[in-house]
Amino acid sequence: MKTLLKSRLILGTTCLILLGAVTYACKDFLNTPAQGTLDQNALTTKVGVEGSLIATYRVLDCTPLVGAWGCSASNWPFGDITSDDAYKGSEATDQPQATQVELYAWNTDQALQYIEQKWQAMYEGVVRANSTIRLVKQILLEKPGELTTTDADGIKGEALFLRAHYHFELWRMFGKVPYYYETDTDFRKPNDISADSVAKLVIADLDSAIALLPPVSRNGEAGRANKWTATAYKGRVQVYTGQFAAAIATINTVIASNVYGLETSFDHVWTGFQALKNGKETIFAFEASSNDGEPAGWNGNWGETLNFPHSGSPFGCCGFHQPSQNLANFYAVDAVTGLPKAYTDSVNWNVRDSTWVASVTDTVDPRLDWTIGRDNVPYKDWGLHKLAWIRAPGYGGRYSPKKNVQESASNSASKVGWNAIQLNSVHYHLFRYADLLLLKAEAEVEAGTIANAQAIVNQIRARAAVTAQGCGSADSALVATYPGCAGDTRLAVPINDASIAWATYKVGQYVTPWPDQATARKLVRLERRLELGMEGQRFFDLRRWGEATATSVINTYLTEEKTRRSYKTAQLPFATRYMYYPIPQIEIDLAKVGGVNRLVQNPGW
């Protein structure tokens, strides 16, 4: 905990308020040499503590403090490329650290660079949350009247929520981790007794946050956590820990509040258009910001900077986080029923190999083309995706990520920073309403109320059936390929629109009642992948479902993928030790007391 140990000597982060706007530009000074005495009076004010809280939110994604890209808010290195959703992509010689993460060589120095970044970033968030809570207490004690009760409760509640989130991320990654409070003075704490105990502490913090937070976000700022953010998150943790009846009750209160809902169209979920950001589906997101005065573009979506089509595309770099062939195949549907072939044809759904180019003879779920960039299909409003956009097709396949990419017409790309066009302000969903509904569907299956789960899945599918990728632009290459796109720049169109000449889209409903729990479980999990593909959830889902074991989804995937991607022949089969990532050795060494380890390494590492 290098960052943590340094941070114990100071209160947090210096923040300057931009006058005339409720916006904070934060300059990190955790690694800046001492240049005098810190002015505590500047921090023990409403302005100071609000700045400390904004700095706590800022660590949700990469910062100059921990670099990139293991700290990405999306978890693409840990939740996607380690699963069947994605490859590292790009080419073999670029970012070999990520390759080692993908191949499960997690004890190599290269992989540990990424893993250490995640550990540092999440504990930096914990440090900042605890600094904020201490500041609130100090202000209330020393400067009565500086904070109203409403503000004090709100600031503390948001900090508690963020502390819970950062610990949840650490728990998902590492299992038994130390849980830190604002009252801790010795930061060389041992691991908690069990992984379950960490989750219980997360829920306890969420309960405290729920009690303090208002039902609407403070100051009218949608990015702030409120009571319903914390309540929804509690339901998430309850599902993760198998508290299914409690989770259903918790999530039902969120649904009944009508605070959240599904977006009317899938293209409104991941977007750079300012008017569509923080819509009803957003529960909690990294509020990326571009062209806000930060001179290097660091407030943009830094964790995703590599994850755009490469040279030959409008972006120029860097070709990482490429969707897998397996994921592309997963979006095929039965031409009659519109149900996933992964369900209706479990033997043959994954036999196609690099053939998902544009074709009206292919019947697919429209979420394929909202999630994956593929040849001769419009790529949002940037023109036709082409094989020339792929850096090394023989290495990473021929597909590109798409959800994280801004629309050209949104003008949300940064004008400053490295690869500025890729530093956008697309808010990255850390938790969205469709995710919450599908977690509830899981809980309903395990509770035996299968009809409720089926209704939720059909609700998600009904939204998926609303729109598909449209022409998006009328550039000459696109119109030459699809003359019907002349003058048609609609990004999203009805799934049966006459302009669509690159696919046949269909999304069917599950009409017949699901016959048993095993079928229901399979179909809920299938829908979760279709809906949340490339969003950093898949590995964690497979692991908690017990489908990351010896005869599991992951090893079945590897058997096939080793015939598609030669570099994956080096990937080891999934084994028990991969249930959790290894704790970086430097953190174990820093936590020693009298030569004795307080942090204990995860089994197998």
Beta bridge partners of 431: 284
Which residue is it, tokens 């820990």? Answer: 241
**What Rg, from alpha-carbon coordinates, does the chain have?**
24
Instruction: For residues 528 and 531, give the distance between their C-alpha atoms in angstroms, rounded to a whole number.
Output: 5
Instruction: For residues 99 and 80, give the distance between their C-alpha atoms in angstroms, rounded to a whole number.
Output: 12
| pLDDT of res. 604 | 95
- 398 with 354: CB under 8 angstroms? yes
Instruction: For residues 370 and 359, give the distance between their C-alpha atoms in angstroms, rounded to a whole number.
Output: 16
For residue 518, give the H/E element and its range: helix 517-532
Instruction: For residues 531 and 75, give the distance between their C-alpha atoms in angstroms, rounded to a whole number.
Output: 17
| pLDDT of res. 550 | 58
Instruction: For residues 74 and 86, give the distance between their C-alpha atoms in angstroms, rounded to a whole number.
Output: 13
Q: Which of 337, 334, 326 is nearest to 397 (CA)?
A: 326
Structure tokens that stand for 65 in this block: 């403090």
pLDDT over 60 (residue 307): yes
pLDDT over 50 (residue 171): yes
Q: Which of 505, 413, 510, 434 is nearest to 468 (CA)?
A: 505
Structure tokens that stand for 491 in this block: 């990004």
Residue partners of 41: CB distance under 8 A and separation at least 6: none
Amino acid identity, position 486: A
Between residues 96 and 24, the one the model is more confident about: 96
| pLDDT of res. 192 | 84
Instruction: For residues 239 and 446, give the distance between their C-alpha atoms in angstroms, rounded to a whole number.
Output: 10
Q: Tell me the mean pLDDT in the region 432-460.
A: 98
| pLDDT of res. 126 | 98
* Contacts of the segment 334-341: beta carbons below 8 A, 24+ positions apart: 334/363, 334/508, 335/363, 335/504, 335/506, 337/508, 338/363, 338/506, 338/507, 338/508, 338/509, 339/508, 339/510, 340/365, 340/526, 340/530
* Beta strand pairing call for 504-505 and 363-364: parallel
Beta bridge partners of 364: 332, 505
| pLDDT of res. 551 | 67
The percent of residues in the chain predicted with pLDDT above 90, rounded, is: 89
Instruction: For residues 199 and 472, give the distance between their C-alpha atoms in angstroms, rounded to a whole number.
Output: 44
CA trace torsion 480, 271, 280, 232 (10° rounding) = 130
Amino acid identity, position 49: V
Give just the sign of the alpha carbon dihedral 251, 254, 258, 262. Answer: negative
- 287 with 225: CB under 8 angstroms? no
Beta bridge partners of 323: 86
Q: If you write DSSP's letter for every residue of 156-192 in order, what string do you get? A: HHHHHHHHHHHHHHHHHHHSS-----TT-----PPPP
Query: How far are the Cα atoms of 371, 441, 541 from residue 526, in angstroms, in the given order?
Result: 15, 12, 11
Instruction: For residues 168 and 204, give the distance between their C-alpha atoms in angstroms, rounded to a whole number.
Output: 12
Instruction: For residues 421 and 176, give the distance between their C-alpha atoms in angstroms, rounded to a whole number.
Output: 39
User: What pTM, to 2 d.p., does this model score?
Assistant: 0.93
pLDDT, tens digit, 9 for 90 and up, residues 364-408: 999 999 999 999 999 999 999 999 999 999 999 999 999 999 999
- 15 with 600: CB under 8 angstroms? no
Q: Tell me the mean pLDDT in the region 181-199.
A: 92
Query: How far are the Cα atoms of 68, 139, 326 from residue 407, in angstroms, in the given order?
Result: 24, 44, 26
Amino acid identity, position 399: Y
pLDDT, tens digit, 9 for 90 and up, residues 124-163: 999 999 999 999 999 999 999 999 999 999 999 999 999 9
